Structure 1
């Protein structure tokens, strides 16, 4: 298997969505440009959802136009229903992320319908999807639900089988929505999913860092062959419909870990760090991660001082 990994930057959607103060569209556009300049080629730029439920994302259609002007960028947008998927396609989206939950309670909280109803809705989306539109499934609460607790592997696998049978060529992302997954649980489900559905070419993993395990679970998924990972610059994030969930694993932390392992990410950490700093400083943002502090201006100054002291000796 290839050692290289692909990082999907989700701060403009998952990171910005819980922020209360309005982030101007031009500020969001500037983040997109800077993230792309740092080498990120897949960015989840927003979501087609109710502007009443998630007002921060009401300008996603405008950001699609910005993303279309960035060479080499594959912008993706999240959609919770087939109706929202149609709106996204009409606005120019060519990479959709359909989200549903493995747990009944969270699916009701998130999209106001049962899991079975979401599966039926997904079938309607497939029937109407244009041939030039890429598709991914985000399976939320694949490991843990804020209402139902730890998810058993068996029922989650059964849901994965049903979705794969409907269209096997989609990318499937197993999501730790609450950040309560442990490395062994992630490894178990990733291995079992790959074994039961070998026809799936691309598996992805979405980590939150609520308990400081985001990097550990990301590495566990990597060991089981996953090569696509979601992360958010500045460690931003938090699900409005998952009480207690905090930010995503920080992109800068993930890049640092993989590069330190000798695994190519295609991302310039030097270019990413100032973007992550600015993301973390957004009013109302809930930031996380460690690499910014470890590699930031103070660390650089200490390194220069140490170098000068060595020269003096």
Structure 2
């Protein structure tokens, strides 16, 4: 935390500009994406996932990520994070100037093959090669998709998550590890058990995170369950935009404004100016083709009338 950074008890990672946009059909102009980043960063959101380096044919909405990343150098307070699914796109992100990579792979073989056409252990090797090639000063996050449930195979065994982590953690022990509820079907008790087991098995990992979806209305409950286990980093999307295009039916991230509201009521500082965030969320909810979610946006705008 720098002298100018807000104090935080909890870090909310804004993933709307990646996870929120990727399923939207009509192309969002690059200038519009950059303008949203400027506004989001001004609310106190520091780390923002600004896009992903992936096949433009698979996700044309994110084909301008390199250009968006380049614009971030002029945005005060932003710490841009980019998602990469393999070594090739990881190297492309580095060439574009990325300094924080989120490498994604799935615990579920069916989902990993659907997403990146590889067995999870093949993705582990991709991750190993990418990490070995990283220059100094590059931070890494691991996103474990389908840590709780798979859209194709159903509930994912906790033992499978721990087994995959056994292969991944030694590669880069200082990497942040994010367990992802890709389908939104996780329940609070499942979240608590998996984090408790993961923290006990891998004490060398200093930073854990949760990526929750609100598809079944359990997003905030699952965040709170993880918080009870000591997790202090949570992904969220302004206006609740988003869902995984490779997980049928997985609509809706936890809304950033809902999460900021909950933690404010709990007395946990997020460093986010909620009053400034809500109008941005309202504009995000109006993006053509988007599927917004969340409740706080409507509640606060209604009470202001």
Report the Cα distance in structure 1 between the residues aligned to 2:172 and 2:63, rounded to whole angstroms.
30
Alignment of structure 1 residues 283-302 onto 2, 5 Å = 283-296=288-301, 298-301=302-305
1:72 Cα shift? 2.5
CA deviations 1:245-269 (Å, max 9, x no partner) are 0010000000000000000000000
Q: Which residue of 153, 168, 174 corresponds with 2:179?
A: 174
Match in the other structure for 2:277? 272
RMSD: 1.0
Unaligned residue ranges in structure 2 (runs of 5+): 1-6
Alignment of structure 1 residues 99-178 onto 2, 5 Å = 99-178=104-183
Alignment: residue pair count: 299
Q: Which residue of 229, 237, 251 corresponds with 2:256?
A: 251
Using the size of structure 1 for normalisation, the TM-score is 0.94
Unaligned residue ranges in structure 1 (runs of 5+): 302-313
> Which secondary structure state, in structure 2, belongs to the residue aligned with residue 109 of structure 1?
helix
CA deviations 1:26-72 (Å, max 9, x no partner) are 00001000000011000000000000000000010111111111223
Query: Bigger radius of gyration, 1 or 2?
Result: 1
Report the Cα distance in structure 1 between the residues aligned to 2:169 and 2:277, rounded to whole angstroms.
35
1:108 Cα shift? 0.4
Using the size of structure 2 for normalisation, the TM-score is 0.97
Report the Cα distance in structure 1 between the residues aligned to 2:91 and 2:160, rounded to whole angstroms.
30
Q: Which residue of 226, 233, 239 corresponds with 1:221?
A: 226
1:3 Cα shift? 7.8
Match in the other structure for 1:32? 37
Report the Cα distance in structure 2 between the residues aligned to 1:196 and 1:176, rounded to whole angstroms.
20
Please, which moves more after superposition, 136-145 or 148-157?
A: 148-157
CA deviations 1:216-269 (Å, max 9, x no partner) are 000100100100000000000111100010010000000000000000000000
Q: Do the aligned partners of 2:141 and 2:176 also contact (CA within 8 Å) in 1?
A: yes
Q: Which residue of 211, 218, 240 corresponds with 2:216?
A: 211
> Which secondary structure state, in structure 2, belongs to the residue aligned with residue 273 of structure 1?
helix
Q: Does 1:235 find its partner at 2:240?
A: yes
